[in-house]
């Protein structure tokens, strides 16, 4: 154990020294033909950040802060320009969503929603799996997929324990456990695509398009492609998991009783839950109806609605204490690092775009000018899905969005044609525990091996490449 720790420490030191040496050496090398000095320096910074994001030798949000240091020092951008993306309106949209989601978790509203969805869909084995998938996907549209997975896993493990000693075939029992847990992880990722705030790559894409291409995609506009994606993908994933990879054939006599017991433990819905549900419903309604309201309320934005809903929660008193539904201490549990990572990704993407690096990379694909557009979309989608197995989906999206847009310009097609599938693909990594937090959380249960997750994930990755391409090319282009 000590030997491994020592080796890891030495490897980290060697990698850091390599990056420093690479950084200094590269700055003193003439850029490739056709690449200006600013773009060359941006490429160096992007490479260093990519290595740090992949290896995680320092925390991901810490790497995201590097543009604030290196962009001004290397004359890539001023500190004002480098810092501006960290205060992008969509970051505050996420912040508002995070606070509302934290209120749901604090008062167990998310668990009540999940249990009710599961009990409505049914308590037969396949119905339970379907219920968990629907509940996980729905919750992940509004709260982080990490929080959803953390909440759903204990419920699933309790169900698994119900029949561990029952007289059922070990294979059937094992398959049910596998599919139930994997379905939670995968549904969290799929559901996140449904809304703009469901997963960071979606919002990052919207912010990038708004800043660099004057294209505005709001919550409702994105749901026109996100919701159909979820409605198509979830049943396909269900069939693949339960009928093809790990067929589930067993009877559970106690499952209905367990679900009812869990609902009874929650008791009657509290006034705090009701108030959070009302605020959430009003916020969601305002998001959906905003295009109709802008004629009456000028400058009404999705971000403003989210922040207003979040702030209101700090005003509403809690019935069972002298405190409010939300206190500032509750916000300590919010994923602040994601917001920093979001800002750093936007800052890097801005540097790649404004320096001319994206245009230069786009021209490298000029040899493919005669290739069908759908083939390029396929290549972009496949590359990002498999790359995201090893890297942060937000970091991957930040690096690839300007490149995808530049390739679109080179091919003389709408940037949405390549950018939209790139963003969706970043949420479709199913093979490895390190690919997404839900994968890691479910793997930590000890009920799934890497081999089993990789087997199921590889098949889903290949299927989802096709799904992402088809939805982006044919449905996405029609509605966006």
pLDDT of residue 254 exceeding 70, the answer is no
- 253: part of which helix (H) or strand (E)? none
pLDDT: is 157 or 26 the higher one? 26
pLDDT at position 342, please?
A: 80
Question: What are residue 324's DSSP bridge partners?
Answer: 317
pLDDT at position 251, please?
A: 61
pLDDT of residue 350 exceeding 80, the answer is yes
Q: Where are the domains of the chain?
A: 89-333
pLDDT at position 367, please?
A: 67
Q: What is the mean pLDDT of residues 373-397?
A: 85
Rounded Cα distance, 22 and 33, in Å:
20
pLDDT at position 6, please?
A: 64
pLDDT of 4-59, one tens digit each?
556 677 778 888 888 889 888 888 888 888 889 999 999 999 889 888 887 778 88
pLDDT at position 163, please?
A: 57
pLDDT at position 2, please?
A: 53
pLDDT of residue 419 exceeding 90, the answer is yes
pLDDT at position 84, please?
A: 92
Number of residues that this document lists for the chain? 480
Lowest mean pLDDT among 205-219, 271-285, 394-408: 394-408
Structure tokens at 153: 């896993």
Q: Where are the alpha helices (DSSP H) in 314-392?
A: 336-354, 357-364, 373-387
Confidence band of 162 (pLDDT split at 50, 70, 90):
low
Confidence band of 164 (pLDDT split at 50, 70, 90):
low
Mapped onto helix, strand or coil, the DSSP state of residue 181 is helix
Residue 56 backbone zone (phi > 0: left; psi -120 to 50: alpha; other: beta): left
Judge whether 45 and 320 are in contact, CB under 8 Å.
no
Q: What DSSP character marks residue 389?
A: T
Q: What is the mean pLDDT of residues 292-317?
A: 86
* Strand ranges in 255-297 using DSSP code E only, listed in sequence order: none
pTM summary value: 0.74
Burial of 163 (0-12, 13-18, 19+ CB in 10 A): buried
pLDDT at position 137, please?
A: 93
Judge whether 342 and 120 are in contact, CB under 8 Å.
no
Rounded Cα distance, 163 and 175, in Å:
12
pLDDT of 453-466, one tens digit each?
889 999 999 999 99
pLDDT of residue 166 exceeding 70, the answer is no
Per the prediction, the chain carries an average pLDDT of 84
Judge whether 113 and 139 are in contact, CB under 8 Å.
yes
pLDDT at position 353, please?
A: 80
pLDDT of residue 172 exceeding 60, the answer is no
Rg (CA), the chain: 23
The overall longest dimension of the chain from CA atoms, in Å, is 71
- 123: part of which helix (H) or strand (E)? none
Q: What is the mean pLDDT of residues 273-295?
A: 83
Q: What is the mean pLDDT of residues 394-422?
A: 87
Q: What is the mean pLDDT of residues 362-389?
A: 82
Confidence band of 238 (pLDDT split at 50, 70, 90):
very high
Rounded Cα distance, 373 and 371, in Å:
6
Q: What DSSP character marks residue 324?
A: B
Q: What is the mean pLDDT of residues 200-226?
A: 89
pLDDT of 78-92, one tens digit each?
999 999 989 988 788
pLDDT at position 255, please?
A: 61
């Amino acid at each position: 154990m000590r030997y491994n720790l020592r080796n890891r420490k030495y490897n980290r030191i060697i990698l850091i020294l390599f990056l420093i040496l690479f950084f200094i050496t590269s700055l003193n090398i003439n850029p490739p033909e056709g690449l200006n000095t600013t773009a060359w320096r941006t490429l160096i910074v992007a490479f260093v950040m990519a290595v740090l994001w992949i290896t995680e030798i320092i925390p991901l949000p810490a790497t995201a802060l590097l543009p604030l240091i290196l962009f001004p020092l290397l004359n890539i951008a001023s500190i004002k320009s480098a810092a501006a993306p960290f205060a992008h309106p969509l970051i505050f949209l996420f912040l508002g969503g995070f606070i509302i989601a934290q209120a749901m978790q604090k008062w167990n509203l998310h668990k009540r929603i999940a249990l009710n969805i599961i009990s409505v869909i049914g308590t037969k084995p396949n119905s339970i799996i379907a219920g968990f998938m629907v509940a996980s996907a729905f919750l992940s549209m509004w709260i982080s997929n990490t929080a959803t997975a953390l909440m759903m896993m204990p419920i699933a493990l309790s169900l698994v324990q119900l029949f561990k000693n029952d007289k059922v075939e070990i294979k059937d029992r094992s398959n049910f456990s596998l599919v139930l847990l994997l379905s939670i992880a995968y549904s969290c990722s799929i559901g996140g695509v449904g809304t703009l705030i469901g997963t960071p790559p979606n919002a990052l894409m919207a912010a990038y398009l708004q800043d660099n291409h004057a294209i505005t995609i709001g919550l409702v506009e994105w749901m026109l492609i996100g919701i159909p994606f979820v409605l198509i993908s979830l049943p396909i994933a269900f069939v693949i998991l339960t009928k093809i990879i790990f067929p589930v054939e067993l009877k559970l006599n106690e499952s209905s009783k367990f679900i009812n017991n869990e609902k009874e433990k929650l008791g009657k819905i509290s006034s705090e839950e009701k108030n959070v549900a009302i605020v959430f419903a009003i916020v969601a309604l305002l998001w959906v109806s905003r295009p109709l309201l802008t004629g009456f309320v000028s400058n009404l934005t999705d971000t403003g609605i989210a922040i207003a809903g979040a702030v209101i929660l700090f005003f509403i008193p809690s019935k069972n204490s002298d405190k409010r539904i939300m206190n500032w201490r509750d916000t300590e549990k919010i994923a602040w690092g994601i917001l920093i990572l979001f800002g750093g990704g936007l800052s890097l993407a801005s540097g790649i775009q404004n320096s001319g690096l994206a245009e230069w990379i786009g021209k490298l694909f000029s040899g493919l000018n005669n290739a069908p557009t759908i083939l390029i979309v396929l290549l972009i989608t496949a590359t990002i899905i498999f790359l995201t197995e090893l890297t942060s989906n937000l970091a991957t999206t930040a690096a690839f969005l300007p490149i995808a847009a530049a390739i679109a310009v080179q091919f003389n097609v709408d940037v949405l044609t390549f950018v939209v599938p790139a963003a969706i693909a970043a949420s479709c990594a199913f093979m490895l525990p390190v690919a997404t937090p839900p994968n890691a959380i479910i793997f930590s249960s000890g009920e799934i091996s890497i081999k089993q997750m990789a087997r199921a994930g590889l098949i889903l990755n290949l299927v989802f490449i096709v799904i992402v391409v088809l939805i982006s090319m044919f449905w996405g282009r029609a509605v966006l």
